[in-house]
Structure formats: C-alpha cells, structure tokens
Amino acid sequence: MVVSGTVAARAVTAKAVTALAVWAALGGAALFYGKTAGLVTVTAVFVYTLVKRRKKGALALLLGAAAGIWGLYRSAEAARPLFTLAPVSGIRVISGKIAGAPAITGGKQGRERYYRLFLEAEEVTTGGGASGDEKTACYSAQGKAIVFVPAAFIETFFPDRLYSRSGTGGMPFFVQGESVTFAVYPSGGTVREGPTVFTAEKVLAWKDPPRGDYIRGILRLQYRRLIFGWGRAGGLLLALTAASREYLDVNTAEAFTAAGLAHVLALSGMHLSIIGGGAAFLGRRLGGRKAALCCTCAGAAFFVWFAGGSPSLIRALIFLCLSVLGRVLYLPPAPVNTLSAAFLVQMILFPQDASSLSFILSYGALAGIFLAGKLLERVLAGTLPKPVLSPFAASTGAQLATAPVMVYSFGCLMPGGIIASMAVSPLVSLFLGAGIGAVFVSLLVPPLCGFLGIVLNMLCLPLEKLVFLFARIPALKIGGTTGTILVTAEVILIYVGLCFLRAAERKKLYVRFARL
C-alpha cells in the first residue's frame, strides 16, 4: 500500500509541475503570440511523449495541462474588470455584491482612512449631479470594481468607534456576499490595468448577506469586542487570528515588515497548525486517533471560515486535509508530493488565487523548506545542534525560494529574516496558543478576562521588543529586471551546489559501507 501510494504521489507531482509550466507558458504566450501558441506548444509536447510510448508521462502531462489551462481561463474570468456601456467618468451610483473582506489601506496621521472593497458590479447609474440638471440613466454592469470606502462606514459597529460617525441611520456589515449600493465618484481610471476605481460618498441601500456570511460577520464583531480590552496584546492577537489590523499598532506592523517577518502577520500554515494541534489534542482525549484526525480537519476548516479564505490559508487547509487523508488510508506520501496535490486542487477549485502574491509566496516558501531546507539540514548535520539546525535550514530554504519574487515585487531582500524567524516564531506560537486559550477561558469565566489580558500583555511585550530589535537590520536594495535575474541565478546555483554536496556525502557513505 505504501509503495503504490508513493508511486501515485510522484505522478501527482508530475501533474502539478506540468500545470505550473502550462500556466506560465500560456500566460507568457498571451502577452506575445496569443493563447493559441501556448495550446499548440502543449499539444506538441503531449504528442511527442505519446509517440515515445511514455503513456504514464503523457497522461500526467495531459492532466497537468488541463489543470493549467482551466486555472488560467478561470482566473482571467474571475479578475475581469468592470464592463458597462455607461461612461466611467459619469458613474455616480454603483450596485453589486461584496467580493471578499474589506482591507484597510492605511493612512498618514491627520488624513482620512479608507478600506479597499472589491465589488461584483451588477448595475450603475450615471448623471444626477449636484445641480440636479443632469439626466440619470441606469446601465447593467459586469466584472469587478474597486471601491474605497471611508473607515467610518466600515468601523461603525467596531469597539471604540462611535455609531454616529457614519452620519447615517445604519450601516451594513460589509461582509462577503452582501449586496450594497454606493453613491460614488471615479478615482482616476484603473489600478495597473485592473478593476475600475471609485470612492464611496454614501451608502444608499443594502441587503442582508447569505446566512452563513451573516453569522460569520456577527462572530467576528463579537470577537473584536471581546479582546478589545486587552490593548496592544488584543490588537496583535486580532491580527494573528482574524487577519484584521485595525487595532494593531502602526509601528509594530511596520517593524514586522522591516524585520522580514511580514509572513507572521499573514495567516498561513503556522497559524493553522496551532489551531489544528489544539483541536487534535481535544479529539484525542475524546475518542482516540480517528477522533483526533477528524477534529483537526474540523478545527482547521472552522478557522479558515472564520478568518477568511486567503490563498495561503486555503493552501494550508488543503495540505492538512490531504495529509490527514494519507494517514487514514495508510498512504503517507512525501511532503513535496502532498504540496503538489494541494497545488492542483487549489488551482482547480480556486483558480483566481494563483495570480495573487500570497499564493506564490506561500507555495514557494513551503517548496523551499521541503527541497532546499531538507538538503541544507542534511549537509550541515553535526555542525549545529538539532534544535537550532532544523529552524535555520527551514528559514533559509524559505528565503532562498522566495528571494526572486521578493526582489521582483519589492526590490529588496531581508537577510535578517532568517535569524528573525528562528527567534520570533516560537514566541509567536506561544503567544498565539495562549491567546486562543485565553479567549475560550474568557467565554467560560468572564470575570477572568481582565486578568488574562494582563498575562497576554506580559507575553506581548518581549515579543514586540524582539521584533523591533530585528527591524534595525538593514534590507538589501536590489531592484529591476537585472537584479531579479541575478538573484534567480544565484538561488539556482546554491540549490545545485547543495545537491552536489549531498551527492558527495552519499558517495562517501556508500564507500564506507563497501569496505565493511
């Protein structure tokens, strides 16, 4: 069973790599020769493999190509910009459904803060100027538009916010699936040739979202109110568990980024593993191994639903469920094969995620840990203590794999992030575990809420001090196409060098066994 499972997992890896290659090939072909050229290329590769009588390889190529093509077209459809016959400059009212959670854009002190909202447009209205002389006209609309909504609208029901600030008799929850009508004015075209951008002046009407989204919005609101009294610790815990940074200190958020620890605030596998570990502990106490596995998946799924389905969280959930499935069926594939299967599943079910930076960095970092990290750990075995070597190898592998993307996207590298991750990640795990436990205790015994807030702030203080310390390490400014190419070449050379060192060690080991 194990052997057959390993063979099947290798085939999954081949399909995933092919899907990624087809995605890149078709995306590049669309820029120069059109999608037809990409399809012809894939078909030629498939026919060549079939002629060579490599049927298994041809099947893997075919399925991988199908997944890549499906993901490319579906992502393009999901990201289509606003399309309407109305002149964009004349749009004054826009109606549609909210697609995703509002994201705060920040703002300098003294300036009004805004939230960025993606809206699946359904109808727009033009005219109706301040003088009232312009004729109004309604047009149907499709595609996504970006609406910048004043923070006073979004934060109407938040703790430490006055309800009267919105200037209306009520406000929607602004959760996914909710239908909202805004009075808007255009904000100047598009964002990188993406969705059309508007700024909201007023909320004219809204409809309740689906029941599940409504319940999720209520739970998140009550959660904010529960931990708001915990001060700085509550703001950090809210960012780590609900991806909401409204109460996170601005200087702390900037310090995480400067220290190369932005991934700590972005919900990912680390957060999900803590939730899943706690659920597994409860399940093991209740019903043994099978109950622990079921509780792990259920707890992780609830956390993803509550926090919001970001690409990195969905990746972590799919990876976890596939790993649990492998244990149940006694087919334990290698981590790389499980990651490849998760890539295929996410590309098929959530193809729009593949174009996001979070998706690329999440898969790149984990692939780096499984490939370069494991190689580095074996090469350096015996040189460092095991508790230090494993985190160092994992952090270095993740940094290597994501370095080209970081240089291309942000024009810099954070070398201090390798050591910072080793030092800060255990403290973050401790704080996150203690925070989740404190939330459950506060729900069971409300009078202890204040005391638990003091304990969490005592844990939060050294964590923040350590982050500010690592934030002083300067970043390496590397930008442009030339910098990206050079960094990519260096990463490839380092990985090839690790492979040669590992091969040399294995050869020495074989020679020793041959002499025995």
Using the structure block, give the residue that is written with the tokens 């919105």. Answer: 166
What phi, psi does 489 have (nearest 5°)? -65, -40
What phi, psi does 498 have (nearest 5°)? -60, -40
Token representation of residue 122: 């359904």
Pairing of strands 103-104, 144-150: unpaired
pLDDT of residue 40: 47
Dihedral sign of CA atoms 256, 354, 313, 106 in order: positive
Helix (H, G, I), strand (E, B) or coil at 106: coil
Helix (H, G, I), strand (E, B) or coil at 498: helix
> How far is Cα 79 from Cα 452, in angstroms, rounded to an integer?
44
Share of the chain above pLDDT 90, in %: 6
Q: Are 316 and 342 in contact (CB under 8 A)?
A: no
pLDDT of residue 28: 44
pLDDT of residue 23: 55
How close are the terminal C-alpha atoms of the chain, in Å? 33
> How far is Cα 514 from Cα 516, in angstroms, rounded to an integer?
6
Does the pLDDT value for residue 292 go beyond 80? Answer: yes
Q: Are 195 and 146 in contact (CB under 8 A)?
A: yes
Using a 10 angstrom Cβ sphere, with 0-12 exposed, 13-18 middle and 19 or more buried, the burial of residue 508 is exposed
Does the pLDDT value for residue 395 go beyond 60? Answer: yes
Report angle CA 165, 166, 172 to the nearest 5 degrees: 140
**Residue 468 confidence class, pLDDT cut points 50, 70, 90:** very high
Q: Are 174 and 157 in contact (CB under 8 A)?
A: no
Does the pLDDT value for residue 280 go beyond 60? Answer: yes
Using the structure block, give the residue that is written with the tokens 């609101």. Answer: 221
Q: Mean pLDDT throughout 90-110?
A: 77
> How far is Cα 94 from Cα 141, in angstroms, rounded to an integer?
9
pTM reported for the whole predicted model? 0.80
Report the run of H or E that residue 93 belongs to, with start and end: strand 91-98
Does the pLDDT value for residue 247 go beyond 80? Answer: yes
pLDDT one-digit tens code per residue, 420-447:
888 888 898 899 889 988 998 998 998 8
pLDDT of residue 465: 92
Q: Give strand pairing partners of 366.
A: none
pLDDT of residue 186: 79
Using the structure block, give the residue that is written with the tokens 């194990």. Answer: 2
Lowest mean pLDDT, pick from 344-348, 419-423, 445-449:
344-348
Which of 228, 326, 313, 323 is closest to 271 using CA atoms?
A: 313
Does the pLDDT value for residue 359 go beyond 90? Answer: no
Q: What is the 3-state secondary structure (H, E, C) of 202-249?
A: EEEEEECCCHHHHHHHHHHHHHHHHHHHHHHHHHHHHHHHHCCCCCCC
